[in-house]
Amino acid sequence: MHKIKKPLLIFIGTIVIIVVVVILLISPITKYLVEKYDEKYTGRQIKMDWAYVNPFTGYIYFSNLKIYELKSDSVFFSTSGVSANFAMLKILSKTYEISEITLNRPRGIIIQNKKDLNFNDLIKKFSSKKKPGTAKETGHFNILTIKIKDGEFYYREKVTPINYFITKVNIESTGKRWDSDTLAAKFSFLSGIGSGGMKGNFTINFKNEDFRLGVIAQKFDLNILEQYLKDLTYGYFSANLDADLNVKGNFKNAENVTFSGLLAINDFSSGENPKDDYASFDKLALAIYELSPKNHKYLFDSLSLSNPYFRYERYDYFDNLQKMFGKYGTNILATKSYTAKFNLIIIIGNYIKALSKNFFRSDYKLNRLAIYNGDLEFNDYSLSEKFAVQLKPLFVSADSIDKDHKRVYLFLKSGIKPYGNATVTLSINPKDSSDFDMQYHLQKLPAAMFNPYTITYTSFPLDRGTIELNGIWNVRNGKIQSDNHLLIIDPRVAKRLRNKDTKWIPVPLIMAFVRERGNVIDYKIPITGNLKNPKFHLRDVIFDVLKNIFVKPPTTPYGIEVKNIETEIEKSLTLKWEMRQSSLLPSQEKFIEKMADFLVKNPDAYIIVYPQQYAIKEKEYLLFFEAKKKVFLAMNNKTARSFSEEDSAKVDKMSAKDSLFIHYLNKRIKDSTIFTVQEKCARLVDAAIIKAKFNRLNRERANAFMVYFKKKGLEKRVKISTGENVIPYNGFSFYKIVYKGEFPESIIKAYQKMNDLNNEAPRKKYLKERKKNRSTL
């Protein structure tokens, strides 16, 4: 026994020594061979710190492995450590199996230049070179577990350019066996630029190219899209994504895909710069039951949009959308035509187009559609002065949008800024968009709101009047049966503004024909024909005009009396200021004298004046005047000291759209991104000057108002409050006059007389509308 034990120990010791020696030698040899023959077999240089290879257990580990770019010293792929376990015994049965491969902290860089990728050489190198019809190699290959831990991967596209990466990448897969067609894995990663991350799982069938994907995204930053948008737009973009989606489909056919789950885009904004949005919303949420183009199913639970904002602006020759996307969308067309350049936005757009092309021929259903607290803004800078209006807050709702339903009902309600509101009720046939019923109602719109248009096209502003418009449309097979009712309560034309650019139409004369005895414009305008060629029936308008020609002259005294009473009331309670007006008109001085006489007769009475300042419009007029003044002085070789009242009148008549004025602005303001006269003038004239001029204007108005009261020693009984910046209903700055204590008897009598006139036949018909709609005061 003793004789056997000693040789056995020697044998075992020898085996152990051989194993250790083999391991110690094979590891550096492996490192040496890999680094020596790397370019021969891969075309790339490969380096590592050290290697460990155990041929007996099948375990391999490479430390700090680096694979370089083709013929470059830049690193293409690196990992702090890569390990693999080979099933050595299975090699005997010609089965090559990696039971587990793990990459720790890998870092990879994908570089694209047009259609070329920085790993095309590897694909070409390791692609099968077997000719069709040759016998298959014997043996099988399995890889059972794949793990990527804490990875970081970069994508760089040189043409656009794009520079994006994801970090904290973790992937774990059950691998793929030789006799299985599928590969399954779960993953997670964070956005390297911005916030948020994604996690989920996927399964791919390599034989039929089917796939399944489950993905959850949390506030995933969509900043990567901004770099593609630069080809399409001039401006910026930001948003993030929430998702909980299940997708199954096939790589061969884009339409063979089915979605279900939740999708939301948050904090979306896009515009010229981060401080100037053209469009934005807080959240767009879509809940999907089943979206399957191949099966012709578009079934949604809900679609909601929270706090959307959109601004559309018109300039002299184009608009802000053309400013962003190029004139007539040239940026988009150019990007689409340049097929050599990859653009993710175009790809996504084409994919969505492909998914939705059969929408109206499919089964579709949306249980709930809602838009909450919307804001649609329209600015028109193409006129002699800026026009602005907003639909705010805007609410839209619809229930059960279903192809199987006979009708789909949609309701819209919105406030209108600065004044007014609108409602629309729509009932539409989901199978035929040319089959619908609609009721709409717009009310409490001040006529003065449209002064930028009336001034530009007629030279006359309006300083009174309330517009109401409503109608009913019944459309069948595109054929229209529509009744529309336009009502303008108490319209009044202000003094003509003489300007070289504005057109002239005798609006006061026209008003005499179109305005009825009750001081209203009331017309019914039926519309028939079809949607492509509607026909407006103006019979009611023509008959009313003819009637006014013959009926109104005998009632002229009544109309004059109404106008005088209205003037008596209005001028006793308000004092209107024309744009840039700082001195009182003779008629205004007379009313102030009446107020002063009233205070003398009523020692306990006093007056509080509340200045209602149309600051936005007043400053626009001041800005135009100061900019035109600079041009006038430069063109006539004059100085500010020699600027006379006659010169001031000439500057007033100069149009803000005058060709010489625009040429001067363009010459001084060399900025191709500025399109409005207002912005160019603001560059030419310091904002501090306009502010000082505006403050001075208000002081001069207050001084002019107080002159007569001071003469009578009544200044302590007249208090002018701090000015309030508003958008006045009548379109002009004014003083709101409030009597404390006694009330002037003349005003009381005027109110009583107006009540009597309102109850007489010509005005009684519209008594309800006058009470319902806001008055000028």
pLDDT tens digits along 522-574: 888 899 999 888 888 877 777 766 666 656 555 556 566 566 666 666 667 88
626: left (phi over 0), alpha (psi -120 to 50) or beta: alpha
Distance CA 533, CA 307 (A): 36
Q: Is residue 644 in a domain?
A: yes
Q: How confident is the model at residue 759 (pLDDT cuts 50, 70, 90)?
A: low
Based on the fold, state whether residues 6 and 103 are members of the same structural domain: yes
List all residues 6 or more positions away from 134 whose beta carbon is below 8 Å from its beta carbon: none
Within a 10 A sphere around the Cβ of 609, how many other Cβ atoms?
17
Q: What is the DSSP string of 493-547?
A: E-PPPP-SSS----HHHHHHHHS-TTSEEEEE--EEEBSSSEEE--HHHHHHHHH
Asked if residue 579 lies in contact with residue 618, where contact means CB atoms within 8 angstroms, the answer is yes
**Pick from 372-381, 480-489, 500-509: least confident:** 500-509
Q: Is residue 216 in a domain?
A: no
Place of tokens 């107080």: 706
Q: Is residue 594 in a domain?
A: yes
Q: Is residue 233 in a domain?
A: no
Residue of 84 and 675 predicted with greater confidence: 84
Asked if residue 588 lies in contact with residue 698, where contact means CB atoms within 8 angstroms, the answer is no
* Backbone phi and psi for residue 321, each to the nearest 5 degrees, phi listed first: -70, -40
Q: Is residue 373 in a domain?
A: no
Nearest to 418 by CA among 172, 185, 614, 217: 614
Within a 10 A sphere around the Cβ of 584, how many other Cβ atoms?
18
For the chain, how are helix, strand and coil distributed in percent, rounded to 5? 35, 40, 25
Based on the fold, state whether residues 541 and 562 are members of the same structural domain: no
Based on the fold, state whether residues 504 and 602 are members of the same structural domain: no
Q: How confident is the model at residue 476 (pLDDT cuts 50, 70, 90)?
A: very high
Domain closes at, from 551, 575, 598: 551
Domain closes at, from 521, 551, 581: 551
Q: How confident is the model at residue 760 (pLDDT cuts 50, 70, 90)?
A: low
List all residues 6 or more positions away from 611 whose beta carbon is below 8 Å from its beta carbon: 698, 701, 702, 720, 721, 722, 723, 724, 733, 735, 736
Please state, in angstroms and as integers, the Cα–Cα distance from residue 671 to each residue in 384, 666, 676, 744, 745, following that order.
22, 8, 11, 57, 60
Distance CA 491, CA 512 (A): 11
Average pLDDT across the chain, whole number: 85
The pLDDT of residue 368 is 92
Q: How confident is the model at residue 765 (pLDDT cuts 50, 70, 90)?
A: low
Based on the fold, state whether residues 108 and 12 are members of the same structural domain: yes
Based on the fold, state whether residues 452 and 570 are members of the same structural domain: no
Q: How many residues does the chain have?
A: 777
Place of tokens 């309030």: 724
Based on the fold, state whether residues 507 and 561 are members of the same structural domain: no
Based on the fold, state whether residues 588 and 484 are members of the same structural domain: no
pLDDT tens digits along 295-346: 888 899 999 999 999 999 999 888 888 877 777 666 666 666 666 666 677 7
Q: Is the dihedral of CA 602, 603, 604, 605 positive or negative?
A: positive
Domains identified in the chain, total number: 3
Q: Is residue 305 in a domain?
A: no
Asked if residue 450 lies in contact with residue 385, where contact means CB atoms within 8 angstroms, the answer is no
Is residue 432 over pLDDT 80? Answer: yes
Overall pTM > 0.95: no
- DSSP letter for 56, please: T
Q: Is residue 248 in a domain?
A: no
Based on the fold, state whether residues 532 and 582 are members of the same structural domain: no
Residue of 199 and 590 predicted with greater confidence: 199
Asked if residue 282 lies in contact with residue 307, where contact means CB atoms within 8 angstroms, the answer is yes
Asked if residue 215 lies in contact with residue 247, where contact means CB atoms within 8 angstroms, the answer is yes
For residue 233, the SS3 value is: coil
Q: Residue 242 corresponds to which tokens in the numbers above?
A: 């929430």
The pLDDT of residue 489 is 87
Residue of 773 and 440 predicted with greater confidence: 440
Distance CA 405, CA 386 (A): 45
Alpha carbon 737 to chain centroid distance?
42
Nearest to 33 by CA among 73, 60, 72, 15: 60
List all residues 6 or more positions away from 173 whose beta carbon is below 8 Å from its beta carbon: 145, 146, 147, 183, 184, 185, 186
The pLDDT of residue 554 is 55
Question: For 707-732, what is the mean pLDDT?
Answer: 90
Distance CA 170, CA 344 (A): 25
Q: Residue 526 corresponds to which tokens in the numbers above?
A: 């039926």
Residue 417: give the domain boundaries. 397-551
For residue 139, the SS3 value is: coil
Based on the fold, state whether residues 571 and 496 are members of the same structural domain: no
Based on the fold, state whether residues 59 and 25 are members of the same structural domain: yes
Amino acid at 219: K
Distance CA 151, CA 78 (A): 10
Give helix 586-601 / helix 556-573 axis angle, nearest 10°. Answer: 60
For residue 684, the SS3 value is: helix
The pLDDT of residue 134 is 53
Residue of 386 and 328 predicted with greater confidence: 386
Q: Is residue 119 in a domain?
A: yes
The pLDDT of residue 758 is 58
The pLDDT of residue 777 is 43
Alpha carbon 246 to chain centroid distance?
29
Based on the fold, state whether residues 528 and 598 are members of the same structural domain: no
The pLDDT of residue 775 is 47
Based on the fold, state whether residues 36 and 77 are members of the same structural domain: yes
Domain closes at, from 551, 586, 607: 551
